Amino acid sequence: MNIDNLDTRIQTLGEAKIPSPLKGKVKGGYTNRFVKESDRIIGEVDYESILYHIENKIEISSFEMAGPREKIYFDPNKLKCAIATCGGLCPGLNDIIRSVVLELYHCYGVRNIYGIKYGLQGFIPEYGHDVLELTPNAVSHILDTGGTILGSSRGTQDINEIVDCLERMNIGILFMVGGDGTLMAANKIADEINSRNLKISVIVIPKTIDNDIYLVSKTFGFDTAVDISTIAIKGAHNEAAGYPYGIGLIKLMGRHAGFLAATAALAQQDANFVLIPEIDIDLYGDSGFFAALEKRLLERKHAVIVVAEGAGQKFFADQKTEYDPSGNIKLKDIGVFLKSEINKWFAEKNIAVNLKYIDPSYIIRSLPANANDSVFCGFLGRDAVHAGMAGKTKLMISHWNNNYIHIPMEASAGKRKNVDTHGKLWQSVLEATGQGVLTSN
């Protein structure tokens, strides 16, 4: 990932002059541990890359470290905050909400915290959605509940109307939780706020099970998704092994990136084939996928296939392109397609296969977070609050090089992280499955 010449400066609303209420506040979790503006985290992690930068006198990009500041911008007694969750569901959304609310309330003393119902729709009067008042009591028991207590929605909304609503509500900090579409919307909201010379901070906490947000090492919910996916793989393997020429086919999330499919396959090493968007495959030909699958079945009598939802979209090139309310291309169902084509292939060869198809996607994304993700969400939520209280804006909280940092929205919006097909993750998948190259060329 080349991050040279990246502008990593973080925008602020003004000078932070108010002493932080965290100072000396042991009960709040801090004594005197504050982050300085000069504390930076380098973007590069590879030794050879760092050495190259030094030898060629190229500046190494670095990011502002997240965490509490000694001086804050907003007066907690007068501040009003809002939280919105947008896009698809994901394990950990309620953990994020709870973390933000408890940090604002108990550590900074903010008493006016509002949950915006159903994502960006909640800002638009014509939808008539209520605003939820968020207190410690309101969020105390939500960790064991999947989904989001605020609800969500897809689709674009009028940016001017959103900012009008923020003005009417006298909001000082807006926390938005979502993926790439949410990040781009937040960027536009922050731009409109700037054009009106308003003092409203916009902080994004990145969310996607696909784990493909640019400049983010890992997104919350991914660990939970891997956990549940391994159960699906285990079940598919048991089904496949229980019948002659049994095939277990599992479709996992991953529109443009195969992180979940690859990681789950390594966590539960029963998969014989892993198909991801980053790797091209052919179905037919001596070196195609079907020939490899047939060879596996004849030798071992069973096979397990893990496919990411965005894999093999070239097989639908003759079909009409459709879009969802957010403007994303609606993917064709590669799982159902493969199920049909595999059965057809073996029927023509008079080989009676027993194929079981599993799609756990909506189960995975609506479940509560596991322990690791819950802890991770706590860190992200608290650092989002620290950034907003310090008057920082137009940023995303990221986990990078084992640290929590601030990423300018423009640096990540509209970009995507993909599986490095020459990197350790994919190489490990190839070693674990032995699938080789699945193209006829």
Give per-residue pLDDT as tens, 18-53.
999 998 765 555 555 899 999 988 876 665 555 655
Q: How far apart are CA 73 and CA 63, in angstroms?
A: 21
Spans of all domains in the chain: 11-219+368-412, 223-366+422-433
Q: Which of 260, 323, 326 is nearest to 87 (CA)?
A: 326
Task: Note the pLDDT tens digit of each residue in 342-394.
Answer: 999 999 999 999 999 999 998 999 999 999 999 999 999 999 999 999 999 99
pTM value is: 0.93
Nearest one of 17, 152, 147 to 74, comparing CA atoms = 17
Taking CA atoms, 108 is separated from 21, 136, 169, in Å, by 6, 13, 20
Q: In terms of Cα–Cα distance, which of 212, 151, 191 is closest to 414?
A: 212
Element (H, E) at 306: strand 302-308
Identify the DSSP state of 330: P
Query: Residues 42-89: pLDDT tens digits?
Result: 876 665 555 655 666 556 788 999 999 999 999 999 999 999 999 999
CATH number of 11-219+368-412: 3.40.50.450
Catalytic residues: 210
The letter for the amino acid at 441 is: N
CATH 3.40.50.460 fits 223-366+422-433, yes or no: yes
Q: Cβ contacts of residue 291 below 8 Å, gap of 6+?
A: 284, 285
Per residue in 226-283, pLDDT tens?
A: 999 999 999 999 999 999 999 999 999 999 999 999 999 999 999 999 999 999 999 9
Measured CA to CA, the distance from residue 353 to residue 325 in angstroms comes to 39
State how far the Cα of 378 lies from the Cα of 40, in Å rounded to an integer. Answer: 22
Q: What's the CA angle centered on 176, arms 199 and 184, to 5 degrees?
A: 90
A 10 A CB-CB count for 54 gives 10
**pLDDT, average across residues 286-294:** 95
11-219+368-412 matches 223-366+422-433 in fold: yes
Bridge partners of 282?
none
